[in-house]
Amino acid sequence: MNDFEYRNGELYCEDLRVSDIADKMGTPFYLYSRHTFISHYQAIDQAFNEIPHIICYSVKANSNVALLKLLANEGSGADIVSGGELYRALKGGIDPGRIVFAGLGKTAEEIEYALKEGILMFNVESSQEMLLINEVAEKMGKQAPVAIRVNPDIDPKTHPNIATGLKESKFGIPLNQAMAEYEVAKRLSSIKPVGIHQHIGSQILESGPFEASLRKIANLANSLKVLGMDIQYINIGGGFGIQYTDEQPPTPEQFAAAIVPILSGSGCTAILEIGRMIAGNAGILATKVLYNKKTEEKEFLVVDAAMNDLMRPALYQADHHVAPVKSLETAREVVVDVVGPICESTDFLARDKVIPEVAQGDLLAVFSTGAYGFCMSSNYNSRPRVPEILVSGKKAYVIRRRETYDDLITWEAIPRDF
């Protein structure tokens, strides 16, 4: 489901023309479809309905509290990796009993905050982290529910920068050490092992890596139960891939068809830390062409969005579909680099992209930016961050306003004696 479509040569988001929003709001801006966001969540939820499961939306994918509220209304949980993300999830109305705390650098303050709020569990990444959680929980007179993140040494067949399930990764505990770690956890007075966690990578475009890793995880769960541990949850992680350009990822139903048979006899509730598949194609970045620039080697479109607004192309060499907001069938196709105003050679949104020819002042849409778009943005080059706008039918809501120059220095101070 995707509610961004062309009608008579004009790009719409649900029932509003993107060009009309640009006229009112200026550019650049992030634009999200409420219907797409919700329908993606519902499709995943329905696909896994044969087994007990909780979708814990990956807050890092897009953490705007309005979007978290939409998911809370659907019954979603949250996968968080910081105290700030816990705060956002709670402000968005997500039930703390459906929140899992991942990430390998949790602080004592974050652990205390999460225990106080009564989250579902911590995903533990190391022996020292386990001891710290036990220490904090003991001081608070609480028992901390945990799942150990197991590294199954599976190649997720994705970009190296987002592969997390290989043995050289910083994440998780090697599978051959997991049993010993669970035995330690069982002996700690304020730790309660309740699950097993894995996360092998992001933007995974086939089900095979999940099947291979989850067979190992399911076997571990059975072994732990034989030893008397009350393992109630198997957290499969996230990483379900989406279409950015010409990829053909499995549908939620196809992922489920591969995964559900492996977990159906485990007696455990499955946890899915899904972010990109929910948010990715529910958003675009709208930007305006500032200049057409030609050299002997290249043709450039200099636009008013930049790498500080969308980091993925510079960070991961990510390839997003880019197209004019107003499409003319008679326009000839050109090969261009779409670049921003930032003083870095890596400041590009697309390289060697074939698009219909556009002129100065025309609008472009960078598609599939609902995940890892605004949430990775910065103020580099002292550029104010752009607004986020949510469309619901014929209504548009500003869910984050455009920053001003004053906002850039809000938290800065010149010492009095300067």
Last residue of a domain, one of 247, 276, 305: 276
Are 38 and 74 within 8 A, CB to CB? yes
Residues 297 and 238 in one domain: no
How would residue 165 be classed by pLDDT, with cut points 50, 70 and 90? very low
How would residue 170 be classed by pLDDT, with cut points 50, 70 and 90? low
Are 389 and 31 within 8 A, CB to CB? yes
**Residue 104, amino acid:** L
pLDDT at 348 > cutoff 50: yes
Q: Annotated catalytic, 343?
A: yes
Last residue of a domain, one of 276, 295, 315: 276
Q: What is the CATH number of the domain that holds 237?
A: 3.20.20.10
Residues 271 and 337 in one domain: no
Q: Which residues contact 84 (CB under 8 A, 6 or more apart)?
A: none
**Residue 25 included in any domain:** yes
**Residue 251 included in any domain:** yes
Q: Which is nearest to 337 in space by CA: 324, 322, 325?
A: 322
Catalytic residue among 13, 56, 343, 375: 343
**Residue 418 included in any domain:** no
Are 29 and 369 within 8 A, CB to CB? no
Taking residues 90-96, report their average pLDDT: 98
Last residue of a domain, one of 213, 244, 276: 276
The model's pTM: 0.94
Domain that holds residue 157: 34-276
Per cent of the chain over pLDDT 90 is: 86
Pairwise pLDDT comparison (311 vs 1), residue with the higher score: 311
